[in-house]
Amino acid sequence: MASGVVGEEVRNKQVILKDYVTGFPKESDMQVINGTMKLKLQEGSHGIVVKNLYLSCDPYMRIRMTRVEGPNVLTSYTPGSPLTGFGVAKVLDSGHPNFKKGDLIWGTTSWEEYSLITELEGLFKIEHTDVPLSYYTGILGMPGLTAYAGFYEVCSPKKGEYLFISAASGAVGQLVGQFAKLMGCYVVGCAGSKEKVDLLRNKFGFDEAFNYKEETDLDGALKRYFPEGIDIYFENVGGKMLDAVLLNMRDHGRIAVCGMVSQYNLAQPEGVQNLMCLIFKRIHMDGFAFFDYYNVYPKLLDVVLPYIREGKIKYVEDIAEGLENGPAALVGLYSGRNVGKQVVLIARE
Ligand SMILES: NC(=O)c1ccc[n+]([C@@H]2O[C@H](COP(=O)([O-])OP(=O)(O)OC[C@H]3O[C@@H](n4cnc5c(N)ncnc54)[C@H](OP(=O)(O)O)[C@@H]3O)[C@@H](O)[C@H]2O)c1
């Protein structure tokens, strides 16, 4: 039971990490247990008690399952404790002036039915509820901010430029591609199944898309889709794809390094062979992280909410129902089982 709360006890189902993970994560690395929780704050608490509604499955969570020594931007999970991550929740009790009972919020919460949240920085009050609440784990949450900041602030895009996106049908990629189409870029994405490639072409309006798992020669595939080269690469996967892209970049191209999901389960990261292309082609390669762009979030709402309402942007979600299905949903990210943004529904309001 979380200290800092009082009153009658209710069941609180939780997903805990059993132990640190090596290699690909398995469902059995996590366990669903029944804890208890009291839903009233202690007198004088400045935290909030929430009922979790949706939890977000995000690739970086695997990195937190590894024991990380020393200071790191991503701290390790604690074995025996619930996972933490992004979610959408409803406030049941509040000791903080910015939040009141009944408010809907998104931000960092725990993988459980009810949570006591004491670190309220980075929690956002949800003001617009005419769109699905689950969108605040995706297009209107952390992945949306990542796509928005990554594309508009890091890629320096211009109309007519040639853009390539890996893991293109996922939570972030599907948005980057649609932002780029709205700007008038030529957009190609790759993904790991026919179903995803069809989505890229037919639902998200990419100019071209291919299944990287069917290509034996990634360099050749990129030359097929970009005979004149790539201006912007939105990097989500790393590894062999990055090497092939480097060979196909145009002079003064930009690479926005958002993630490298192909590397998260490897004990030894793969090396990159073609980094010399950065020099010859004078390429700008920038890593970035969403948490440096919270100031841009109001802009994202101003731009993207109208796009959603007018149907100019589509957002595909893959919703697993029930906390007990959370571990399978999370593990599925690393084999590409998810089609679109992977969400876990815990409770409807
Ligand atoms: N920098 C930041 O602030 C930030 C924020 C959010 C996310 N990210 C990063 O952005 C990337 C995309 O995240 P997302 O939330 O949009 O995830 P996602 O695309 O919804 O899910 C992960 C996808 O990665 C692909 N994948 C998994 N293993 C792979 C492998 N070995 N090689 C190639 N592709 C693989 C799978 O799609 P396929 O079926 O297409 O293989 C899978 O569906 C990740 O690298 C993530 O860590 C960074």
Question: Does ligand 1 lie within 6 Å of residue 77's CB atom?
Answer: no
Instruction: Kindly state the tokens that stand for 170.
Output: 């996922």
Among 218, 236, 255, say which to mutate for ligand 1: greatest number of ligand atoms within 8 Å of CB: 236
Q: Which residues neighbour 170 within 8 Å (Cβ) at sequence distance 6 or greater?
A: 191, 236, 338, 340, 341
- Atom from ligand 1 closest to the CA of residue 287: 1
Statement: the pTM of the whole predicted model exceeds 0.95: yes
pLDDT one-digit tens code per residue, 298-330: 999 999 999 999 999 999 999 999 999 999 999
The radius of gyration computed from the CA coordinates of the chain, to the nearest angstrom, equals 21
Question: Does ligand 1 lie within 6 Å of residue 143's CB atom?
Answer: yes
Domains located in the chain, CATH noted: 5-138+316-345 (3.90.180.10), 142-291 (3.40.50.720)
- DSSP H stretches of helix in 85-231: 142-148, 173-183, 194-198, 218-225
Q: Phi/psi class of residue 201: alpha, beta or left (left: φ > 0; alpha: ψ in -120 to 50)?
A: alpha
CA of 281 to the centre of ligand 1 (A): 27
Q: Is 153 exposed, middle or buried (0-12, 13-18, 19+ CB in 10 A)?
A: middle
CA contacts within 13 A on the Cβ side of 115: 29
CA of 17 to the centre of ligand 1 (A): 21
Among 74, 148, 261, 296, say which to mutate for ligand 1: greatest number of ligand atoms within 8 Å of CB: 261
For residues 88-113, give the mean pLDDT: 97
Q: Phi/psi class of residue 324: alpha, beta or left (left: φ > 0; alpha: ψ in -120 to 50)?
A: alpha
pLDDT one-digit tens code per residue, 192-243: 999 999 999 999 999 999 999 999 999 999 999 999 999 999 999 999 999 9
Q: What is the pLDDT of residue 6?
A: 83
Among 154, 237, 240, say which to mutate for ligand 1: greatest number of ligand atoms within 8 Å of CB: 237
Question: Does ligand 1 lie within 6 Å of residue 265's CB atom?
Answer: no
Is residue 341 within 8 A of residue 55, CB to CB? The reply is no
Query: Nearest to residue 336, comparing CAs of 171, 192, 203?
Result: 192
Question: Does ligand 1 lie within 6 Å of residue 188's CB atom?
Answer: no
CA of 237 to the centre of ligand 1 (A): 6
pLDDT band at 1 (very low <50, low <70, confident <90, very high): low
Q: What single-letter DSSP state applies at residue 292?
A: G
Q: What is the pLDDT of residue 176?
A: 98
- Examine the pLDDT at 349 and tell me if it is beyond 90: no
Among 57, 135, 137, 172, say which to mutate for ligand 1: greatest number of ligand atoms within 8 Å of CB: 172
CA of 201 to the centre of ligand 1 (A): 19
Q: Is 203 exposed, middle or buried (0-12, 13-18, 19+ CB in 10 A)?
A: middle
Which residues make beta-bridge pairs with 333?
A: none
Residue nearest to atom 30 of ligand 1 (CA): 262
Residue nearest to atom 36 of ligand 1 (CA): 336
- Examine the pLDDT at 2 and tell me if it is beyond 80: no
Question: Does ligand 1 lie within 6 Å of residue 333's CB atom?
Answer: yes
Q: What is the pLDDT of residue 272?
A: 96
Is residue 55 within 8 A of residue 344, CB to CB? The reply is yes
Q: What is the 3-state secondary structure (H, E, C) of 299-316?
A: HHHHHHHHHHHCCCCCCC
Question: Does ligand 1 lie within 6 Å of residue 139's CB atom?
Answer: no
pLDDT one-digit tens code per residue, 26-84: 999 999 999 999 999 999 999 999 999 999 999 999 999 999 877 678 899 999 999 99
pLDDT one-digit tens code per residue, 130-179: 999 999 999 999 999 999 999 999 999 999 999 999 999 999 999 999 99
Q: What is the pLDDT of residue 269?
A: 92
CA of 238 to the centre of ligand 1 (A): 10
